[in-house]
Structure formats: structure tokens, C-alpha cells
């Protein structure tokens, strides 16, 4: 067991390179299941979740080579796949549910353990299920498993999502690419990670129109071919570095970043007083004053991302003024606020609103990461807190941030992994 120990007060400066997005690569790995043969992914982040997804694919019958040092994963997909995703892996990583669509398409049947709730909310699957049912699948829940079958194959359908769910859009999309006929997904998610999956599926031979819009039109094809694909850069890691520059009064060049994927968040940083400049292949963020408080409302893309909400609460916690933060995606994402309060932050939550009154100074303390982004938010707060902050439950951070501590050290932070006594 380890914790991250931070001695606050250093200004971060220098360059950091962002690699591929966690929330894309896990789905790209699942999409590989759709085509027998070898698919190779590059720009793969060296994170725990990629290892868990690799293990899941192995259990389904694939040979998986992880070369995370070079950001590469090769997946050899057999003609005949297993079709069961067990609870021991699904409970470790909810994104395991992404194999639902591809396995149903390939095997005509799939059993995936129900992920249950997690630290950021209940996270239902109703839209995944109703979409697959519209495409001809029978779905039941037995002994904690979601079992879907379509012995006669899936057929195209019109699917209207109640909410532009990222996961449901992906499940239906991956089921639709080899279904018979035309599927139209309305109110589809528009995240850059959805566009990335569409791009890979199109390269595999799928017919998809409307990637990046609210209407995805898919004309099913009989089969797909394996490909090589580079993962889209991680906009949430990019945003985390941008806030790191702003909160520490720093100066960071973020390479391999796509500023166009986080316009609202960058605009908020400018409002907070940061100097944000787009450069070739990335961006540059510099701050030379105390940040001003900025209100945030999380929404599906292109709205402000929920995955940057904790980092912006940390920024507001030391800003000049008071900010109202509204969380519209995950009901329990304010849980980490109790930890931030242990660092001296003044945050009051009421339903899906948090009122953050900026303090002149936070003070270091032991705190616990409750999820990946909460962990990132607490590390950012620790960077500016006076004294020592230790962030426990580091495994959450390892799920989403590759080489985080090394990068922070190179940028000038005093941070290290320390064993927890006992
Ligand atoms: N929802 C339902 N029913 C469904 C599907 C979703 O009620 O059938 C609800 C969820 O409970 C949630 C909301 O809709 O309240 C949004 O869920 P969505 O399906 O859009 O999110 P997700 O696919 O579960 C992905 C990311 C999250 C990210 C969200 C929103 C992955 C593996 N996860 O989750 O990332 O916050 O989209 O952008 O792609 C993270 O990286 O820290 C993280 C939580």
C-alpha cells in the first residue's frame, strides 16, 4: 500500500506530453473484438485500466501483448471467442461493460457481470439494454449477470437515447456496425472519444455517418478487418495539467494536446486569469496571479466535462471569490469534497450544487482519493497546500494517469510515493 506524499508550495514549470485517452483506448480494445486477426493500438497510456482490459480480452480468448513502455497494445482476436465477462474484472473496472456490444455482435450471446454502483454514482445500463432490445436482442438479468442473446443476429433499428450517454452510444454503435441493415442513434454522445471509436470502426470497414454529431447513422456490413490505430490524446489529462499550471502560478507547455477538445474548460481557465495559448501540437498555460473564482456547470460534450469538475473545485478552493459548481452527470461526484475540506477548503454542497468560497491558503493533511478525478483534484490541492499532504488510495489515480508522479517531479513538484506503515 502506498500514498502520494506532497510538500506544497512549488510552482510547476516545463513541458509535459499527453498520451492517448483512457476513455477511448478501453473502447478501442473492445472494438478490436469485432474483427478476427491482429489489431494494434498506439498512443496507449500506461495505466492500470489498460492492463485490466488486456486481462479481460485474454479471458475471452485473445492473445494480448501490452508494450506500455512504447504505448502499444496488440490484440490477436480468434475466430471463436468466449462470451463471458466475470465479476472479478468488471467490479475492478466498470468499462468492462464495453465488451457487451462487440461480443453480442460476434457470438450472438454475451454474459457480462453487472458492475453495480461505484464511488461516483449508480450508473445505470437501461439505455444500453433498450437499444440492444430494439435491435432484436433478448436481455435478462440472472445471478448478477446481464445476459443478452440474438441467435438470429442483430438487425438495424432507430434508437433514441433519453440522454447522450457515452457508454450506451458505444454499446449500440459496436452492436450496429455488423447488424443487418441501418441503425440510427439519435441524441448520441458527441465526445471526441466517440469520434475516435467511429474513426477506428470506419477504418475497419464499418459504414458510419455523423461521428461527432447527435445523430449516428450506421449501415451494417457483414464483417470487419483488423487495423492499426492511434488513440486520441487524453483531453482530461490535458485539462488536469492546465489546472496544475493555473493553481500553482506555473507555466506548463502541454504537448500532444488537442485544445479544440476542451474549449469550455480552457475558456474557464482564461476567465480565472490564466494565459492560455494554442501552439503547434498542444497548448501553453501560464498563470502569474491568484486565480479568480469561476462557476462551472458539467454537461455532456461539448459542455464542461464532469471529469474535470474536481480539479476545478480544487482551483476554486484557493481562488479569489466564490464559485458555484453544478454537477449534472454523476450524483455522487461531490463525495471527495469532504476530503478537500480536510485541507481547509470552504465548500458547501447541496444536491448537485457546490458553493466554493476561495481561501487564501490550504493546509496539508492526509486525505483519501475516492475516484480517479477526485484523486487528481486532491493532488492539485496538495500542490498548493502549506505543509505535507498525503493522498491515500493511490490505485484510483493509477487507473487514469500514466507516469503522473514522474511528470509532476519533472515539472518541479515535491511529490513521491511512500509506503504506508502497517
Ligand atoms: N446512465 C443511465 N443509463 C444508461 C447509461 C447511463 O442512467 O443506460 C447515466 C449514468 O448513470 C450517468 C450518466 O447517464 O449518470 C452519464 O453516463 P455515461 O453513460 O455518459 O457515462 P459512462 O459511459 O458511464 C464515461 C466515462 C466517464 C465519464 C462519462 C461522461 C468511460 C470508461 N467512462 O462514463 O469517465 O465521466 O463517460 O463523460 O468512458 C472517468 O474517466 O473518471 C470517468 C468516470
The C-alpha cell of 47 is what? 495505466
Residue 422, pLDDT score = 67
Q: Which of 204, 230, 256 delimits the end of a domain? A: 230
Residue 163 near residue 123, CB atoms below 8 Å: no
Record the pTM.
0.97
The answer to whether residues 220 and 244 belong to one domain is no
Q: Which of 205, 230, 255 delimits the end of a domain? A: 230
Q: Which of 186, 204, 230 delimits the end of a domain? A: 230
Tell me how many domains the chain contains: 2
The answer to whether residues 189 and 264 belong to one domain is no
Torsional sign, CA 212, 216, 221, 222: positive
Residue 255 near residue 284, CB atoms below 8 Å: no
The answer to whether residues 225 and 264 belong to one domain is no
The answer to whether residues 309 and 204 belong to one domain is no
Best substitution site from 21, 24, 48, 167 to test ligand 1's pocket, by max atoms within 8 Å of Cβ? 167
The answer to whether residues 129 and 244 belong to one domain is no
Instruction: Please provide the DSSP assignment of 269-315 as one string.
Output: HHHTT-EEEEETTEEEEE--SPPBP--EEB-STTSB-GGGHHHHHHH
Q: Give the structural domain span for 242.
A: 2-18+233-419
372-406 residue pLDDT tens:
999 999 999 999 999 999 999 999 999 999 999 99
Residue 15 near residue 410, CB atoms below 8 Å: no
State the Cα angle at 94 between 91 and 99, rounded to 5°. 110
95 touches ligand 1 (CB under 6 Å):
yes
The answer to whether residues 261 and 376 belong to one domain is yes
232-241 residue pLDDT tens:
999 999 999 9
Residue 76 phi, psi (nearest 5): -95, 115
Dist. CA 193 → ligand 1 center (Å) = 12
333 touches ligand 1 (CB under 6 Å):
no
93 or 408, greater pLDDT? 408
Q: Which is the closest atom of ligand 1 to the Cα of 130? A: 8
Tell whether the model's pLDDT for residue 117 goes beyond 70.
Answer: no
Dist. CA 264 → ligand 1 center (Å) = 19
Q: Which band of pLDDT confidence, cut at 50, 70 and 90, is reported for residue 115?
A: confident
Cα separation of 388 and 369, whole Å?
16
* CATH code, domain carrying 210: 3.65.10.10
163 touches ligand 1 (CB under 6 Å):
yes
Nearest residue by C-alpha to atom 13 in ligand 1: 329
48-103 residue pLDDT tens:
999 999 999 999 999 999 999 999 999 999 999 999 999 999 888 888 999 999 99
The answer to whether residues 193 and 307 belong to one domain is no
Q: Which is the closest atom of ligand 1 to the Cα of 330? A: 15
Average pLDDT over residues 167-178: 98
Cα separation of 16 and 233, whole Å?
13
Average pLDDT over residues 216-232: 98
Q: Which band of pLDDT confidence, cut at 50, 70 and 90, is reported for residue 331?
A: confident
The answer to whether residues 324 and 185 belong to one domain is no
Residue 121, pLDDT score = 72
Which residues are marked as active site? 118
Residue 118 phi, psi (nearest 5): -140, -170
The answer to whether residues 361 and 378 belong to one domain is yes
Computed on alpha carbons and rounded to an integer, the radius of gyration of the chain in Å comes to 21
Residue 123, pLDDT score = 74
Nearest residue by C-alpha to atom 37 in ligand 1: 166
Residue 327's contacts (CB-CB under 8 Å, 6 or more residues apart) are 298, 306, 309, 333, 334, 352, 353, 354
| Average pLDDT along the chain | 96
Residue 372, pLDDT score = 95
The answer to whether residues 225 and 250 belong to one domain is no
Residue 53, pLDDT score = 96
The answer to whether residues 194 and 237 belong to one domain is no
3-state DSSP call for residue 242?
A: helix
The answer to whether residues 269 and 382 belong to one domain is yes
131-144 residue pLDDT tens:
999 999 999 999 99
Count CB-CB contacts under 10 A for residue 386.
Answer: 14
Residue 104 near residue 154, CB atoms below 8 Å: yes
Amino acid at each position: 500500500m502506498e500514498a502520494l506524499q506532497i510538500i506544497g508550495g512549488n510552482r510547476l514549470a516545463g513541458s509535459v506530453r499527453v498520451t492517448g485517452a483512457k476513455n477511448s483506448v478501453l473502447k478501442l480494445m473492445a472494438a478490436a473484438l469485432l474483427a478476427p486477426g491482429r489489431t494494434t493500438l498506439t498512443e496507449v497510456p500506461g495505466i492500470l485500466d489498460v492492463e485490466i482490459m488486456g486481462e479481460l480480452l485474454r479471458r475471452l480468448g485473445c492473445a494480448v501483448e501490452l508494450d506500455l513502455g512504447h504505448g502499444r497494445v496488440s490484440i490477436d482476436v480468434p475466430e471463436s471467442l468466449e462470451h463471458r465477462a466475470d465479476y472479478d474484472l468488471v467490479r475492478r473496472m466498470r468499462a468492462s461493460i464495453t465488451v457487451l456490444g462487440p461480443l453480442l455482435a460476434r457470438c450472438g450471446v454475451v454474459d457480462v457481470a453487472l458492475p453495480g454502483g461505484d464511488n461516483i454514482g449508480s450508473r445505470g445500463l437501461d439505455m444500453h439494454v433498450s437499444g440492444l432490445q430494439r435491435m432484436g436482442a433478448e436481455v435478462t438479468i440472472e445471478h448478477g449477470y446481464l445476459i443478452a442473446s440474438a441467435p438470429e443476429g442483430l438487425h438495424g433499428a432507430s434508437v433514441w437515447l433519453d440522454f447522450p450517454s457515452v457508454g450506451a452510444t458505444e454499446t449500440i454503435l459496436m452492436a450496429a456496425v455488423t447488424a443487418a441493415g441501418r441503425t440510427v442513434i439519435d441524441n448520441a454522445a458527441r465526445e471526441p472519444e466517440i469520434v475516435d471509436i467511429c474513426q477506428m470502426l470506419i477504418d475497419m470497414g464499418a459504414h458510419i455517418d455523423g461521428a461527432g454529431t447527435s445523430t449516428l447513422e450506421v449501415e451494417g456490413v457483414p464483417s470487419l478487418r483488423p487495423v492499426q490505430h492511434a488513440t486520441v490524446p487524453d483531453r482530461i489529462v490535458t485539462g488536469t495539467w492546465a489546472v496544475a499550471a493555473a493553481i500553482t502560478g506555473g507555466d506548463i507547455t502541454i504537448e500532444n494536446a488537442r485544445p479544440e477538445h476542451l474549449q469550455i474548460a480552457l475558456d474557464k481557465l482564461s476567465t480565472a486569469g490564466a494565459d492560455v495559448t494554442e501552439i503547434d501540437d498542444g497548448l501553453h498555460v501560464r498563470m502569474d496571479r491568484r486565480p479568480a473564482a469561476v462557476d462551472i456547470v458539467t454537461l455532456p460534450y461539448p459542455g464542461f466535462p464532469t471529469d474535470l469538475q474536481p480539479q476545478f473545485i480544487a482551483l476554486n478552493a484557493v481562488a479569489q471569490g466564490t464559485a458555484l459548481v453544478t454537477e449534472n452527470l454523476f450524483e455522487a461526484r461531490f463525495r471527495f469534497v469532504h476530503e478537500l475540506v480536510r485541507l481547509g477548503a470552504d465548500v458547501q454542497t447541496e444536491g448537485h450544487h457546490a458553493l466554493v468560497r476561495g481561501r487564501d491558503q490550504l493546509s496539508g493533511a492526509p486525505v483519501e482519493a475516492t475516484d480517479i478525478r477526485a484523486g487528481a483534484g486532491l493532488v492539485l490541492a496538495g500542490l498548493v497546500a502549506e505543509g505535507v499532504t498525503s493522498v491515500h488510495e493511490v490505485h484510483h489515480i493509477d487507473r487514469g494517469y500514466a507516469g503522473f508522479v514522474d511528470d509532476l517531479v519533472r515539472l518541479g513538484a515535491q511529490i513521491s510515493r511512500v509506503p504506508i506503515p502497517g
